[in-house]
Structure 1
Amino acid sequence: MPKRLFSCTPSKLATFADCPRRYRFAYLTQPRPPRGPAWAHNTVGAAVHAALRSWWDLPVEKRTPSGARQLLYSGWSRAGFRDDEQAQTWRARAAGWLTDYVAELDPTEEPAGTERTVGATTEALALSGRVDRIDRRGEELVVVDYKTGRWPSTSDDARSSPALALYVLGVRRTLRRACRRVELHHLPSGTVAAFEHTERSLANHVRRAEDIAVDITAATEALEAGADADAAFPPVPGQQCSWCDFRSSCPTGQAAAPARETWSFLPTEPAPTD
């Protein structure tokens, strides 16, 4: 019988690479341990992503900066913020980013996909993932990923991202078109960081992904054979334990670093723009 492919997403692989115990909590333990609270910076990112996805669903004549702002306002949440005032401040800031960003877009240039799920297979993996946007650039397609974090992205970020590389493979397989270029669009700074993959760079990412999958499979089989769960999926303590979703279920993580406030990853408070 052919060997069964390991089904995964970039997020699933990254979770194990960061902390095997967190992987076990997220994907194997039943019932799943309770997750921690929402984070304000994730709320900002989710609202911007949702508004951009919905903006492309509008009729062309309604794809305007004001239309993007209204989409952000209608989908805004105060989850993770310190209070209503902070949430409103950040809603205004995110609306400003969005207005500036869509003002530079051509609303008549339909993307090949928005929030599009793509997939591909390798010798060992069945990969899938959801791409923020897939642009048409001549005869090729381009993977576009939106970013709202405090620091602008760099070309090294674009080159080294396992997710973007695996998205390239997925776009090629799913849409049957050439694809090499990946772009990180950082809305707060209005900058774009790009990289054009080669077959070699993609192969390097695939090899690393397959190595992680081998480790996941070995750990899972050991657990099923009766190994101690913490031996098969050991914790990797560090500063990241301050914001781990499963902190409340992990004494090791609680001892490694103090908990952070859910709004602490927001940059210095900006002045409202509207």
Structure 2
Amino acid sequence: MDSSMEGTAGGGVDSEADPLPGGAAEAASTDTATAAGTAGERVAVPPASLSPSRAGDFMQCPLLYRFRVIDRLPERPSEAATRGTLVHAVLERLFDAPAAERTAPRAKALVPGQWDRLRESRPEVVELFADDPEGERLARWLGEAERLVERWFTLEDPTRLEPAERELFVEAELESGLRLRGIIDRVDVAPTGEVRIVDYKTGKAPRPEYAEGALFQMKFYALVVWRLKNVVPRRLQLVYLGSGDVLTYDPVLADLERVERKLLALWEAIRRATESGEWRPRPTKLCGWCDHQAHCPEFGGTPPPYPLPTRVTEEPSAGGPGVAPGRAQSLPVQADDGPSAGGPGVAPGEA
């Protein structure tokens, strides 16, 4: 579960997307810290770690990363993101029951209670249905969540599964000092010790040409597990409830080393942008889902004043000839050669 809620002030679910009621995971895995000022205000500090969600943000659009991680601009909840949160919560809770009782009717019966829990822990989601006094749209939305949960039983058999971990927060520090963190939906461990990392997606599976981009998040998690346990996961598995597909990949050490190099380059680009204050927008068709158009120069907006100090260096930038001293460049890092971490055409929040 890669969560787009991670590190945001109020946004929807990540790929990356933090679909945990109560926000405990969100608090534990935010990519940037905040300090309390004398009057209790939130004080921006430089990014200190990287998650799949935030890595995907920067690869999609450096300015979006800034808005979410540094400015922490609020984002409206969306029906798709909140549905992803709800479905994740149901699938997590189902494993509390004995194996024989993990049935589709029981899972569907969990939906109303988990929705109530979500509304209590994250009151902002209530506004999604504020204009639905008769509850008709809410009933349809809950029905869609139930159908996604029910479809899961056609893809996996929970009576034969005993997850070693659910909604597992992981964090590892690389030799470079970069901290990687995230939340894994499910970890299965075979009797032989082989590890499988599983992530649920409530959207549809990407087209084959974008599968590599979709696997970026899973390779990120595999890298963290390898660095923590010195074990390369045997299998990475993406379960797409929206289309009823299962995407699997068996990583090798070279995959994880390649992802680590990519993340180090990405973090260097983030560091330079943080120091210079230059966060360049990268327009794509995903801009249509962005909550921050009013602040984006591509839409005639003006970003808020940069809340961190900037540093102008005297030496020419590493960006090469023709780059003015002190003007950092964003590296055009792509997620495993895909246009974005989630693949094109994937609406944010379809976790």
What TM-score results when the alignment is normalised by the length of structure 1? Answer: 0.76
What residue is the counterpart of 1:20 in the other structure? 62
| Count of paired positions | 242
User: Per-residue displacement from partner, 1:208-262 (whole Å, max 9, x unpaired)?
Assistant: 1111100000111123xxxxxxxx112222322221132333352468xxxxxxx
Indicate yes or no: 2:138 matched with 1:87: yes
**Structure 2 residue corresponding to 1:99, chosen from 147, 150, 154:** 150
**Which structure features the higher share of strand residues?**
1
Specify the code of the residue in structure 2 equivalent to 1:133.
R
1:203, 1:22 → 2: CA distance?
A: 27
2:86, 2:152 → 1: CA distance?
A: 14
What residue is the counterpart of 2:315 in the other structure? none
User: Is contact 1:171–1:177 with CA below 8 Å preserved after alignment?
Assistant: yes
1:57, 1:233 → 2: CA distance?
A: 44
**Structure 2 residue corresponding to 1:33, chosen from 48, 55, 73:** 73
Please report how far the alpha carbon of residue 61 of structure 1 lies from its aligned counterpart in structure 2 after TM superposition.
4.9
2:110, 2:211 → 1: CA distance?
A: 28
**Structure 1 residue corresponding to 2:225, chosen from 144, 168, 171:** 171
2:173, 2:112 → 1: CA distance?
A: 39
What residue is the counterpart of 1:130 in the other structure? 183
1:182, 1:156 → 2: CA distance?
A: 18
Structure 2 residue runs without a partner (length 5+): 1-46, 116-124, 302-346
Specify the code of the residue in structure 2 equivalent to 1:89.
R
Give the RMSD, CA atoms, in angstroms: 2.9
What TM-score results when the alignment is normalised by the length of structure 2? Answer: 0.61
Specify the code of the residue in structure 2 equivalent to 1:199.
L
Specify the code of the residue in structure 2 equivalent to 1:42.
A
**Secondary structure, aligned partner of 2:281:** coil
2:232, 2:74 → 1: CA distance?
A: 42
**Secondary structure, aligned partner of 2:233:** strand
**Secondary structure, aligned partner of 1:139:** coil
Distance 1:48 1:207, change over 3 A: same
1:16, 1:48 → 2: CA distance?
A: 27
Distance 1:213 1:45, change over 3 A: same
What residue is the counterpart of 1:202 in the other structure? 256
Superposed, which structure 2 residues align to 1:109-128 within 5 Å?
Answer: 109-124=161-176, 125-128=178-181
User: Is contact 1:68–1:102 with CA below 8 Å preserved after alignment?
Assistant: no
Indicate yes or no: 2:96 matched with 1:57: yes
User: Is contact 1:111–1:134 with CA below 8 Å preserved after alignment?
Assistant: yes
Structure 1 residue runs without a partner (length 5+): 224-231, 256-264, 267-274
- Once the two structures are overlaid, the 10-residue window that deviates more, 52-61 or 125-134, is 52-61
Distance 1:15 1:189, change over 3 A: closer
2:127, 2:238 → 1: CA distance?
A: 25
Specify the code of the residue in structure 2 equivalent to 1:136.
V
User: Per-residue displacement from partner, 1:167-203 (whole Å, max 9, x unpaired)?
Assistant: 1122234456441311111123332111111112222
Distance 1:245 1:222, change over 3 A: same
Please report how far the alpha carbon of residue 16 of structure 1 lies from its aligned counterpart in structure 2 after TM superposition.
1.5
Please report how far the alpha carbon of residue 43 of structure 1 lies from its aligned counterpart in structure 2 after TM superposition.
1.9
**Which structure features the higher share of helix residues?**
1
Please report how far the alpha carbon of residue 75 of structure 1 lies from its aligned counterpart in structure 2 after TM superposition.
2.3
